Chains A and B, each alone.
Chain A
Amino acid sequence: MTAVSSRQQLNYIAAQAADARVNLEIETEGMTLNIGPQHPATHGTLRIVAKLDGEQVIAADPVMGYMHRGYEKLSEVRTYPQVTTLVNRIDWLGSFANEVPFILAAEQLMEVEAPPRAQWIRTVLFEMSRIANIVLFLGDMAVQVGAVTPVFFAFRDREHILNQIEAATGGRFHPNFDRIGGLKDDLPKGWIVETKQVMKKMRSFCDEIEELVMGNEIFQARTRGIGVVPADIGLSYGLSGANIRGSGVDWDVRRDGTTGAGGLVHSELDWRVWTHPDGDSFSRFWVRLQEVRESTKMVDQLLDGLPSGPIMAKVPRIIKVPAGEAYVETENPLGVMGYYVVSAGGLVPFRVKIRSASFNNMSITPWLLTGVYVPDIITILGSLYFILGDIDR
């Protein structure tokens, strides 16, 4: 698996070097292209300062922080239940998944455990926010390489998922539903049947995208062999999620995680982790597509085996967390997300450190973008799939 990716990488570098020699002979003058913070491809306020030679990138430097909202500091003056409102806004496309690791960390500190039914519903919503997030990616990636139509299909079909999330939690984008020791509410009547139908729609959406986007020769020509991340380099830059599984590393916190076990019930389900050996933009897209399918299957299984019982453990009305520290990470839609919560005892956390997936995924861009052409910058950024809120927090 590494052999394939490094061979591709070497071919690519050789081709770049040949081009560079030609350019050296003509003695062209470089140009600095400032991509962003306002640019249609950076979905938000990412800025990339790219030094170009013709259309080839000599050096690329991502500049972050245009959307910094100071959530880590704000968390220090909020009570524990209030913090979930903030962290909902980190990865705004899969909001519920942001709450989970924080709540699990707080539960770990308080030494309470949510009842089984709450854990199962929590996992359902966790996987549904992953579907809502990645479905949009599948359409958005097509826009990045120039096909306009698939993103409309993505928005159309994501609507079904958002409707279900809204029906269960009351919030379309920011559910704010997870509580220390359980959940805010039980599922509404008829929700399970409807959700199963939605999962069927999602699977047919995946088939549609597979035909429309992935099967397209131009899409393959634009993404195969572009932005190759060898497994060892990806690991050393701290990539996670589908970005590292696209490089052939078989690692998923839902299955292999050591911290926070017990909060989510993935271990009781029948599912598999998908990897792809190539490590290029196409493989990252492929892995995400398979993950959506896997998530829909997981949701089906969870809804079939939903245990009965209470949805809230016995916790005091005013939550005081004993002194201590906890780190919990989960496999969020964008990659591994972790919260390091330090409590000095009392109503508010002493310190919250957020390890967000996109920030680490972005750190590879200077290495990855060197030597590529301007159109490939967009392909690579699109396939790395970052959410600006997740980078800047």
Chain B
Amino acid sequence: MSSTQVFAELAYWQQTGIRVGAALAAVLLVAGALVYMHLFKAVSFMQSRLGPMEAGPYGSLQLLAEVGKHIQKEDIFPTKADRFVFGAAPFVVLASTFLLVVVVPAGPDAWFIDSELGIYLGLAVSSVSVLGILMAGWGSSNKYSLLGGLRATGQLIAYELPLILAVVGVVIQAGTMNMADIVYAQANGEIFGLGIVGNPYILTQGVAFVIFLIAMQAELAQAPFDMPVAESELVTGYMTEYSGMRFLLFFIGEFATAGVFAAVASVLFLGGWYVPGIDPTADVMNLLGPLVMLVKIVGLTFLVFWTRFTMPRFREDQLQRLAWKFLIPIALANIVVTGVLKVAF
């Protein structure tokens, strides 16, 4: 009896419960691992310091201590804040992360929803976070927050386009928007008759991959695209007035979103849970797949945080110019070339 059959015999609420639990674990554990590995340790070594060392062996429990600290803090509402909008904003941002994670498969049966729309749905729900950020900026009744919220909105809308256009190239080549089928297409593909490693689309869609990474960096509002939080200009932008638990939600959202976007990128360009030599539909991949995905996520997010702590930030107009004058034309050209080659071969 395969795992799919076992799962299918459970009641609907049991299936949903398992999925919700798995989604929570997937997002929060990955976010925690990324915070520890990248923010606490990798970045510290780049900056010639050790990072947290006291809480737990090698500082590994530092994140728990931070969470405990934030939970204890007072949840401050500014006097003139729009209380409902201000209070709801972090949840909206986090909701968009959780909605995005449901489209990402981590194994042949390890998925939350198996939708034919797949990546299309994912990119649509990822835009919801703009709403949350705008709510935070407006609801805080703080000028820095307002500027940060408006900057974030302009930036995220500008970089949705190259993100989507980069994905279109992959979708054309795979011939499907279903995320699992994109993985199979890469596993079964071959380049110039060589099928040993399959055909991870980073090889044929390299341009789209670079555009996707840049747009992802901007979507995540990490330097060099961190004008919305620009701590030397706007204090912390739309997060300025938040404290305690709600600040923590924004913080988790930032890293969880980085992890989820990296998961999407690894499915689209790095072959998802596929490793050369193992049949991607084998049952064992349900256990091995999430680990393979985790390795790819850690690698991709390392690129994100490496860039973040190396680059200065763009100015708002320079960022818009980069999106509209460079990334979007290149992404469009990539689509045309992909389409032509798809028909030719």
- B315 contacts A222, C-beta separation under 8 Å: yes
Find the B residue at minimum CB distance from A223. Answer: B312
- A143 contacts B232, C-beta separation under 8 Å: yes
Q: What are the interface flags for B192-215 relative to A under an 8 Å C-beta threshold, 1 for contact and 0 otherwise?
A: 000000000000000000000000
A135 to chain B, nearest CB (A): 15
Q: Does A350 reach chain B (CB closer than 8 Å)?
A: no
A37 to chain B, nearest CB (A): 13
Chain A residues numbered 148-181 whose CB sits less than 8 Å from any CB in chain B: 148-149, 152-153, 156
Residues on B with C-beta less than 8 A from A378 are 232-233
- B143 contacts A33, C-beta separation under 8 Å: yes
- B313 contacts A218, C-beta separation under 8 Å: yes
12 CB-based A-B contacts, threshold 8 Å? A33-B143, A41-B233, A146-B223, A147-B313, A149-B46, A149-B310, A152-B49, A213-B312, A218-B224, A218-B318, A375-B230, A378-B233
Q: Does A188 reach chain B (CB closer than 8 Å)?
A: no
Secondary structure call for the A interface: helix
Q: Does A59 reach chain B (CB closer than 8 Å)?
A: no
A11 to chain B, nearest CB (A): 15
Chain A residues numbered 165-221 whose CB sits less than 8 Å from any CB in chain B: 212-213, 216, 218-219, 221
Find the B residue at minimum CB distance from A377. Answer: B233
Contact for B224 among A41, A146, A149, A152, CB less than 8 A: A146
Q: Does A136 reach chain B (CB closer than 8 Å)?
A: no
Find the A residue at minimum CB distance from B318. Answer: A221
Residues on A with C-beta less than 8 A from B235 are 39-40
- B230 contacts A222, C-beta separation under 8 Å: no
Are A146 and B311 also in contact (CB < 8 A) when A41-B233, A55-B147 are?
A: yes
- B232 contacts A144, C-beta separation under 8 Å: yes
- A375 contacts B143, C-beta separation under 8 Å: no
- B227 contacts A375, C-beta separation under 8 Å: yes
- B147 contacts A146, C-beta separation under 8 Å: no
Residues on A with C-beta less than 8 A from B231 are 40
Chain A residues engaging chain B, CB cutoff 8 angstroms: 31, 33-34, 39-41, 55, 142-149, 152-153, 156, 212-213, 216, 218-219, 221-222, 373-378
A267 to chain B, nearest CB (A): 39
Q: Does B226 reach chain A (CB closer than 8 Å)?
A: yes
Q: Does B7 reach chain A (CB closer than 8 Å)?
A: no
Docked complex Cα distance between A153 and B48 (Å): 7
- A218 contacts B311, C-beta separation under 8 Å: yes
Q: What are the interface flags for B34-74 relative to A under an 8 Å C-beta threshold, 1 for contact and 0 otherwise?
A: 00000000000011110000000000000000000000000
Are A218 and B232 also in contact (CB < 8 A) when A152-B49, A156-B48 are?
A: no
- A221 contacts B314, C-beta separation under 8 Å: yes
Residues on A with C-beta less than 8 A from B181 are none
Find the A residue at minimum CB distance from B49. Answer: A152
Q: Does B326 reach chain A (CB closer than 8 Å)?
A: no
A34 to chain B, nearest CB (A): 8
Contact for B47 among A40, A149, A376, CB less than 8 A: A149
Interface bin, chain B: 20 to 34
Give the 5 A-B residue pairs with the shortest CB-CB distance, closest first.
Answer: A146-B313, A152-B47, A147-B312, A145-B312, A146-B312
Q: Does B324 reach chain A (CB closer than 8 Å)?
A: no
Find the B residue at minimum CB distance from A146. Answer: B313
Docked complex Cα distance between A373 and B318 (Å): 12
Q: Does B309 reach chain A (CB closer than 8 Å)?
A: yes
Residues on B with C-beta less than 8 A from A374 are 147, 233-234
Docked complex Cα distance between A39 and B232 (Å): 8
Docked complex Cα distance between A156 and B314 (Å): 26
Docked complex Cα distance between A34 and B144 (Å): 10
A32 to chain B, nearest CB (A): 8
Docked complex Cα distance between A147 and B49 (Å): 17
- B312 contacts A152, C-beta separation under 8 Å: no
B310 to chain A, nearest CB (A): 6
Chain B residues numbered 261-315 whose CB sits less than 8 Å from any CB in chain A: 309-315
Q: Chain A CB within 10 Å — which of B232, B310, B315 has the most?
A: B232
Q: Does B316 reach chain A (CB closer than 8 Å)?
A: yes
Residues on B with C-beta less than 8 A from A213 are 312
Docked complex Cα distance between A373 and B151 (Å): 13
Find the B residue at minimum CB distance from A381. Answer: B232
Are A219 and B312 also in contact (CB < 8 A) when A39-B235, A146-B224, A374-B147 are?
A: yes
Q: What are the interface flags for B304-344 relative to A under an 8 Å C-beta threshold, 1 for contact and 0 otherwise?
A: 00000111111111100000000000000000000000000
- B232 contacts A41, C-beta separation under 8 Å: yes
A130 to chain B, nearest CB (A): 24
Residues on B with C-beta less than 8 A from A148 are 47, 223, 309
Contact for A218 among B46, B144, B312, CB less than 8 A: B312
Residues on A with C-beta less than 8 A from B147 are 33, 55, 374
B67 to chain A, nearest CB (A): 23
Q: A34-B143, A216-B312 are in contact. List 5 more A-B contacts (CB 8 A).
A: A40-B232, A55-B147, A146-B230, A374-B147, A374-B234
Docked complex Cα distance between A149 and B147 (Å): 25
- A142 contacts B233, C-beta separation under 8 Å: no
B118 to chain A, nearest CB (A): 35
Contact for B315 among A33, A212, A373, CB less than 8 A: A373
B43 to chain A, nearest CB (A): 8
Residues on B with C-beta less than 8 A from A55 are 147, 316
Docked complex Cα distance between A235 and B49 (Å): 43
Docked complex Cα distance between A188 and B104 (Å): 66
A166 to chain B, nearest CB (A): 21
Docked complex Cα distance between A281 and B233 (Å): 17
Q: What are the interface flags for B223-247 relative to A under an 8 Å C-beta threshold, 1 for contact and 0 otherwise?
A: 1101100111111000000000000
Find the A residue at minimum CB distance from B48. Answer: A156
Find the A residue at minimum CB distance from B44. Answer: A152
Residues on B with C-beta less than 8 A from A152 are 47-49
